[in-house]
Structure 1
Amino acid sequence: MASIPASTMRQHPRKKLRIAIVTENLMPKVDGVTRTLARLLTHLREQGHECVVLGPESGMGYYETFPLIGTLGIPLVLYPGLKLNFLRPKFLRTIVEFNPDVIHVVDPVWLGAQFLFALEAGWCGPEWQGPRRRPVVASYHTNLPTYATLFGMAWLEPIMWSLLRCLHKKCVLTACPSASTAEALRTGHKFQNLRIWPRGVDLSIFTPAKRSSKIRERLGAHLLDESPVVDWQRHTLGDAILRPPLSPPRQYRSSPSLMFPLTPPPSPTLNPLEDDVVVILYVGRISYEKNLQLLIDAFAHLVKSLPGPSVRLALVGDGPHRGALEMSVAAHGLSHLTTFAGQISNPSELAAWYASADVFAFPSYTETFGQVVCEALASGLPVVGLDAEGTRDLVSHGRNGLLLPRGKGEGPEAYAALLAEMVRDGKRRKEMGWAAVQSAQGRTWAGAMERMVDCYREAIECAARPNPRWSGLSVSQLLMSHPRVILLLVSCLTLAFLFLRHQQ
């Protein structure tokens, strides 16, 4: 596509839109992509837009009043949670009948590729072809090519980058969740026409006020004080959340103008210094690409190096790597200090787990944003992570967390050293907790989702002007330049044939 000026701040007409969304993943699967998609669909309904969703079979007919049309897929051998989904004729008929203003392809890889090539072939009508075709936008969520190296197929990574670059060039623009991801795509992989589609956090749910003595007792951590003294004459409730008093009083002092009961009301707290056990928390999928073995090995080093404060490790989530991690924890002799809490779907319960911890550990380097990092910050947790895409957009080293540089020093000992800084220095941990809450302010879901709607409107405006034909490699050029893609496609189609034959 021709270069598009970054004019997302322009005031577009507030016309209600008809949007078709094509996605590789869909609820009830829980991950960053599906959670963001659920938020987007909620926002589109609230704003009065019309939408239809085409994706994998979900067992649901509708979501937020919008129809969901599913298709069959085959599970990936190396990652059963993901499927290779196949284009079905009903998808193409739906596009013709629904007649959308714009098509949004979410993380196009396999199903998205089939759909884009079907549009290019004219199977959805001539209005989706040629210089004045209707707009298609993409959103980038997952650094999928890096997974190939994690699974021992490094030869596949450059092929996948070529495929993704080809697919995204066929779209008017690509929305990315963070500035660091957009920069990496632009400079490292020559993606074009990138826009930022940020994420939000619900501050009414994720807050330090959800700290729970029951959860800490379950983890073997002692919570001495859930309601520290607050000078209500000088500080509002918001002040109590955002910063500590400059000189905390020794006892509760009420103002004559405020009618409080004799016992002060519970106040939001940030990890009291009096806790004699420090809880390190991870939340997210327990899968290979999250680099959780680094966390387990670092925790083992941490336990050996701390004769004083006690520590506990809690992992909230589930996934294909859980069994291997549990075995690793047992091999290190850390089972009595480690809790695998499993998947927690209730937002309020999840918020209580965040608020009941003291430090958030996030060793992943394959993120494009890191939604759980944002939720941890809102809950008052300083973050110990890697200086990688997504995480560095949210964590400022030394202010609301610590970041381990990628490279030579990246190992269990170095990561354990950062965790030890947080565990040993309670005062610094608390100060970073205050800064963490402040850094999460202003990240609303409504504002974030409206940015995607702005991308739709910009794409529609651009499509009204003449543009050259879709750029990028054709299918035949892509296959000839990377013969191994042929082997990959043949293997996938063979698996699909065997799967469908088994279903008959």
Structure 2
Amino acid sequence: MHATSQPLVIENFPPLQRSLRIAVVTETYPPEVNGVALTVDRLVRGLQARNHDLQLVRPRQARLEQGGATPGFEQVLLRGLPIPRYPHLRMGMPAKKPLTAMWTLRRPDLVHVATEGPLGWSALQAARKLKLPVSTDFRTNFHAYSRHYGMGWLEKPIAAYLRKFHNLAHCTMVPTPGLQTELAALGFERLLVVARGVDTQRFLPARRSAALRAQWGVAPDELVALSVGRLAAEKNLHLLAQAHAAMRAVNPRCRLVVVGDGPERDAFEQACPDAIFAGSRSGTDLADHYASADVFLFPSLTETYGNVTPEALASGLAVLAFDHAAAAELIRHGHNGLLAPFGDADAFVRRAADLAGDPALVQHLRAAARASTLALDWSQIVAQVEAVWLRLLRQHAEGAGAPQPGALRWGPPVSGA
């Protein structure tokens, strides 16, 4: 029997009186730039702010990089290899034996596995051997990605691996009810909806920069459409090019600014020769790029969430996306953004053209965009994760032992610590 939980309703959870020792295992982490790395970083920093003792286990990103420990935070760096087609990213190598030895000497209260690579698999196996409670995140639709690399035949085997991986855990956190339903239909068990956060103090309309717009060569009254993300096949870049062309047909002064890099950059530059390619951006520089645009185009169909959607909304942009993932949760069509039916490329292009030809619509959507993200402050999201772990630890102490179908009882949130 599959769990059918609802998103946790969080009031204001104070930090716990007793800190937990939590081992977080991930195969990507800043300064690597991707949604998983940035989300894990925010989780780690939020847990530290709530007085928890964190051990971060990840691959070494540079040959001479060293781990280390400060009060309340330890980094354990293990061997890694470059990921094919993404040489700037690394995946961890199998490490069950050293993880088992390390956690035997200093036992964590809980292990949280954020990624499903060889290192994540080793962490699951080590935690099970030591009878530690373990949670996982479902963050990337790797099975869907295979279709975009000419390997559609791998979709079912990859989905089977991901199902086996996550079903070994006591619970798997997913960002939206829609993804929970999709994964439950594929046989994933013990799924719990925990939202993702956005830094509303960094991403905000006040960061709009006239100087940056001048650098792009656009006047104050000209429309700027923005895209932020990896320039890779799974991001549906051909549809982004079509939407941009439709916008230019309606409004020849419309400009497209592309933030990000990746294996498809050269091909996309040829498809959109009049676009402005800003490369990878991070921090306040990225926030400036968001706020200095007017419209955000997000044609991806493979996201588990899509962190760029709440970032764009928080920055006050008129967002166009498919009715999927974060956009389906955060956007009310015609109020704070526009939605196209999932997979309907023609509708996406038509709505992009609508934005290009209707300045009043753009201003209406922009005015309502930011308010839809204010409840996604990271402190509230970290409190949700903490509440999940508290419940998991209590049930584990009651003798739940190894994960069993339907074993976890996700009722109303536990109040207090």
Query: TM range, normalised to the smaller chain?
Result: 0.7 to 0.9
Q: Could you give the per-residue CA deviations for residues 103-126 of structure 1, whole angstroms, max 9, x where no partner exists?
A: 101132432123323444x3xxxx
Matches within 5 A, 1:67-466: 67-88=74-95, 89-120=97-128, 122=129, 128=130, 133-186=131-184, 188-223=185-220, 275=221, 277-303=222-248, 305-306=249-250, 308=251, 310-329=253-272, 335=273, 337-345=274-282, 347-407=283-343, 409-411=344-346, 414-466=347-399
Identity %: 34
Please tell me whether the aligned partners of residues 140 and 304 of structure 2 are also in contact (alpha carbons under 8 angstroms). yes
Tell me what 2:410 maps to.
none
Gaps (5+ residues) in structure 2? Answer: 406-417
CA distance, structure 2, for counterparts of residue 435 and residue 71 of structure 1: 45
CA offset digits 1:81-132 (Å, max 9, x no partner): 4434213343222211221111101132432123323444x3xxxxx2xxxx
CA distance 1:450–1:63, shift in 2 (3 Å) = farther
> Which residue is equivalent to 1:258?
none
Aligned length: 397
Shift in alpha-carbon separation, 1:470–1:378, aligned structure 2, 3 A: closer
Contact 1:358 1:381 in 2 (8 A): yes
Q: How many Å apart are 1:313 and its aligned residue? A: 0.2
* Residue number in structure 2 paired with 1:487: none
* Partner deviation per Cα, 1:36-95 (whole Å, 9 max, x = no partner): 111111112111111111121133525885222122222233433443421334322221
My pick for the range that moved more, 354-363 or 20-29, is: 20-29
Contact 1:280–1:358 under 8 Å retained in 2: yes
CA contact (8 A) 1:285 1:317 kept: yes
Q: Aligned partner of 2:345: which letter?
A: E
Instruction: From the CA coordinates, give the structure whose radius of gyration is larger.
Output: 1
The CA distance in 1 between the partners of 2:338 and 2:69, in whole Å, is 39
Q: Is 2:49 aligned against 1:46?
A: yes
Amino acid at match of 2:210: S
User: In the superposition, relative to structure 1, how do residues 378 and 278 fare at CA in structure 2: closer, same or farther (>3 Å)?
Assistant: same
Contact 1:73-1:86 at 8 Å conserved across structures: yes
Query: What is the aligned partner in structure 2 of residue 55 from structure 1?
Result: 58
Deviations 1:363-417 (A, max 9, x none): 111112221111111111011111222321122222111122134x424xx4332
Deviation of 1:438 (Å): 1.6
Offset of residue 431 of structure 1: 0.8
- Counterpart of 2:132 in 1: which secondary structure? coil
Structure 1 residue ranges without an equivalent (≥5): 123-127, 224-274, 330-334, 473-504
After superposition, the Cα gap between the structure-2 partners of 1:63 and 1:215, relative to the gap in structure 1 and judged at 3 Å, is farther
* Contact persistence 2:5–2:192 (CA under 8 A): no
Superposition TM-score, scaled by structure 2 size: 0.88
CA deviations 1:315-366 (Å, max 9, x no partner) are 111222212211222xxxxx2x310001112x22222211111100011111
Q: Secondary structure at the match of 1:282?
A: strand
Give the aligned partner of residue 408 of structure 2: none
Supply the AA of the counterpart residue of 2:102: T
Q: Alpha carbons of 1:280 and 1:3: their partners in 2 closer, same or farther (altered >3 Å)?
A: closer
Q: CA deviation at 1:471?
A: 5.3
Counterpart secondary structure, 1:27: coil
Q: CA contact under 8 A between 2:7 and 2:192: conserved in structure 1?
A: no
SS at match of 1:155: helix
Q: TM-score, normalised by structure 1?
A: 0.73
Distance 2:70 2:235 in 1: 31
Q: Distance in 1 between matches of 2:207 and 2:100?
A: 47
